[in-house]
Structure 1
């Protein structure tokens, strides 16, 4: 799809939960390291709910146990559709954990309301039947009001089969791809029943009644973005963790008993919460025009709240996308921009469809970060291998050479399952087998040792790479898909027996 010039990507993770905290951006608003996404991988605006989040994390050797909340958190957590696999949490069965502090109720209205409305308010409902088609089928609306009526009609009937993907097409595609691949892996690992479908694993249902939007005060940001405002109506969230199709084997290994957990229900009166807890400010939902049709965008909504927090207006001109001629060039240019601390260039090399919000809001981010002195290092060689993954092309490192400011040259070269490291006149070979052998020498049970060997070995062999996507003939680095692929690589590295062993170790 084609976006207007200057449109692009994602605002750094902030979101409704930070609204009202005064000027400046939340700490997680910028990448921790130039050019690489934070560990969360996806904007923090995505909830860690919606399907059993069991996959191991890159920094975590085994999945945690305990049920995760079955619908978007409220209070201190931002809201977003489910993305990659996350470990099962420690909190209650599908009911929001109590959030201390005076801002609890404000977060409640913004969190729960945005969970429903951000998928379609004032824009388009993109209904995706995940079990009927491998491609999303956008159902656009000509204006925000008509789209809002679509939302009421769809969600008011409890029709949430496509809730996670009722977004701007690029956002919907990513969520759909990640959800489908994750569910497939969880079925293979016998965490989910073999007949489980993506739309079966939510454990929650959302319905709305009499939603009202203040059309007269909708804010037009530019020729393709409009901020709509929810001012009234009710949102009811029903949760039932027992409906998630977890296998008996997994439930027993994780020591989960959901048979006595009654379904929960909570209704939020939007107008009351806005007046009492949000200083009379409506819930702001960003919508985006793509190909003449309007769609809701959670990334743009997160960006809008970040700008509101910083008391900044949307820039009149964004950062134009500047893609590369090939996946390898996209990665090399992005890496060099990170080394040079050139934030504007890094933004330009992000996908303008997935991360349009970051392109549009980018000038404010660049201004807030301020000028940074380049490190002086130069990437002189980057050789990679390309392979197709869902939604993009994975670029895996073969050889990297970097010249430091002092003239020293450092290199890493992949040789089979080993990596040759050179620099400052020294050379060292590091092999996957060496690391996995260290695990086997530990005091852990043999089954756990085998599971960790599979996990570490799989990540080192297949996880050293990033994902690029093509938009209008140009290639871009996709941080969302890169982290999602890393999580999937971790899942693919395990066997069903490994999952049981890791759950046993986690007890």
Structure 2
């Protein structure tokens, strides 16, 4: 609950704007637009600059989290994903080496940054009308609890100035900073995913070529896509795993595919037999594929997992024995026969959070008529799914517990 709350509040503080990203006519113009938004202090506007595929991930995520924060009483109806924190960042005098630009793929260009300065001002408090009194009380309680602990983190009070040319000279062996830009529908955008992949390849001494690409091969349904992922994973077949990934969201993985497969390698492991049933639910950006039942046979032993969302339990059976995990089991793990000994509202909250956790699943997306697995959406979707189990009374309980300790 605490992890989901902190993540949710953090998402809102640094939420992205719900607008269509604006592309540029060239790779360098795309990189310059990124620096211009930051230089103007428009952190929210960065979403308008990045690859639309990456931007939509964060925009959908921030939208879902904002709705849950409103539902549990932490944000008012005025809160939207257009809100900004006004964190102070300024970038000036950025220079490029145009002659050194690399074009490993037709729609991918790497821009080289050679100089400029970055100034980061300490974040200031935010007391906008979008925050409720309960929101501010929660932040104050968390701050007080942290300051009263043995660990007291250093607080940044002075601006930090970074000289890009100095960093290049002293920490990057004189090599320019690299920003990967991608072309979508004739326009260029900076890409976080491709920039990270490019740096990983550079560290490994690899050079991306069109031959590294692994094409996407989808499935006929969300459940079939999940079956394909499980089969490929159990067979230790990374190439087939890559094929079933969303070609938009994970285009970088497809383009760097051969390089990734060569780096992972293969192991000779006995194959397990798996039979599964799935529950499908429509969610933001795709379809959530959640476990119904799962039966695994390995080395002559069969185990079965049955998920019961209504009962808030998971039952695991093997070798003639069965174990059910529910709120009672959680109470036992916490060392308390009765969770109400900790707080009267805790039993109900734990039961709801277990049901929410049981609702976790893998997000499948449909691209050009076929279904694929979307790992980034799946990862981001865990926070709003866990937050779905919270109620406003849980925040009151959390505040009570913080005051007690």
TM-score by length of 2: 0.83
* Contact map agreement 1:436 1:457 (CA 8 A) in 2: no
Q: CA deviation at 1:289?
A: 1.4
Among 213, 220, 237, which residue is 1:325 paired with?
Answer: 220
Q: Deviations over 1:293-316 (max 9, x none)?
A: 111111111111111111122243
The equivalent of 1:200 in structure 2 is 83
Structure number with higher relative contact order (C-alpha < 8 Å, ≥ 6 residues apart): 1
Instruction: List, as ranges, runs of 4+ consecutive aligned residues in structure 1 with deviation greater than 6 Å.
Output: none
Helix, strand or coil for the counterpart of 2:306? strand
* Contact map agreement 2:34 2:50 (CA 8 A) in 1: no
The equivalent of 2:357 in structure 1 is 459
Please say which structure displays the higher CA radius of gyration: 2
- State whether structure 2 residue 2 is matched by structure 1 residue 56: yes
Q: CA deviation at 1:203?
A: 5.1
Among 322, 325, 343, which residue is 1:445 paired with?
Answer: 343
Give the 3 Å change call, closer, same or farther, for CA 329–153 of structure 1 in structure 2. Answer: same
The equivalent of 2:261 in structure 1 is 366
Q: CA deviation at 1:383?
A: 1.7
Question: In proportion to residue count, which structure has more helix?
Answer: 2
* Contact map agreement 1:330 1:349 (CA 8 A) in 2: yes
* Contact map agreement 1:440 1:450 (CA 8 A) in 2: no
**1:12-411 equivalence runs, <5 A:** 56-57=2-3, 85=8, 130=17, 133=18, 136-164=19-47, 166-202=49-85, 204-243=87-126, 245=128, 246=131, 247-255=135-143, 264-317=158-211, 318-379=213-274, 381-406=275-300, 408-411=301-304
- State whether structure 2 residue 398 is matched by structure 1 residue 502: yes
Unaligned runs of 5+ in 2: 146-154
Give the 3 Å change call, closer, same or farther, for CA 347–370 of structure 1 in structure 2. Answer: same
Of 247-256 and 383-392, more deviation after overlay is shown by: 247-256
* Contact map agreement 2:27 2:110 (CA 8 A) in 1: no
Unaligned runs of 5+ in 1: 1-54, 65-83, 89-93, 95-127
* Contact map agreement 1:234 1:268 (CA 8 A) in 2: yes
Using the alignment, how far apart are the partners of 2:176 and 2:119 within structure 1? 18
Give the 3 Å change call, closer, same or farther, for CA 86–331 of structure 1 in structure 2. Answer: farther
Give the 3 Å change call, closer, same or farther, for CA 148–489 of structure 1 in structure 2. Answer: closer
Helix, strand or coil for the counterpart of 2:254? helix
Using the alignment, how far apart are the partners of 1:387 and 1:284 within structure 2? 40
Using the alignment, how far apart are the partners of 1:279 and 1:234 within structure 2? 18
Q: How many residues align?
A: 381
* Contact map agreement 2:97 2:114 (CA 8 A) in 1: yes
Helix, strand or coil for the counterpart of 1:179? helix
Using the alignment, how far apart are the partners of 1:129 and 1:253 within structure 2? 27
Among 415, 420, 430, which residue is 2:324 paired with?
Answer: 430
* Contact map agreement 1:448 1:505 (CA 8 A) in 2: no
Q: CA deviation at 1:191?
A: 3.3
Q: CA deviation at 1:292?
A: 1.7
Using the alignment, how far apart are the partners of 2:30 and 2:331 within structure 1? 58
